[in-house]
Amino acid sequence: MSVNLTIEVCYALPHEQTLIQLELPQGATLRQAIDASGILARHPDIDLTKQKTGVFGRLKPLDAVLEDHDRVEIYRPLIVDPKVSRQRRVEKSRREGSVEGRKWLPKDSR
């Protein structure tokens, strides 16, 4: 078992991704990893009071203790609620002649 943890801190924008690898002592938290990475200085738009954080796609609080080879992720706020977006797609499909999101085909064309 190593003395230090190898951690990655990740923040992705639509056209750019920042991935910073660093070593931290055992027992380090998400917040400590974010602070040590310097990512807040590189991306001043990050607001940890509003944005969620996680490890490998799972939401975690800033005080969560990290394990070796974890990837700390800072998530951007959603522009559109996924439920609203899906409903809009279904409504559009129905207007175009589908039934419950599936295109309807006459029996003789199947």
Asked if the model's pLDDT at residue 103 lies above 70, the reply is no
Tokens of 66: 């990290």
Q: Give the per-residue pLDDT at 85.
A: 83
Q: Give the per-residue pLDDT at 96.
A: 79
Spell out the domains of the chain, with CATH numbers in brackets.
4-74 (3.10.20.30)
Asked if the model's pLDDT at residue 17 lies above 80, the reply is yes
Q: What is the widest separation between alpha-carbon atoms in the chain?
A: 69
Q: Give the per-residue pLDDT at 58.
A: 95
Q: What are the CA-CA distances from residue 83 to residues 22, 41, 53, 80, 86 (Å)? A: 37, 34, 21, 8, 5
Q: Give the per-residue pLDDT at 55.
A: 96
Tokens of 99: 């039934």
Q: What is the pLDDT of residues 40-95, one digit of tens each?
A: 999 999 999 999 999 999 999 999 999 999 999 999 887 777 788 888 888 888 77
Whole-model pTM over 0.85: no
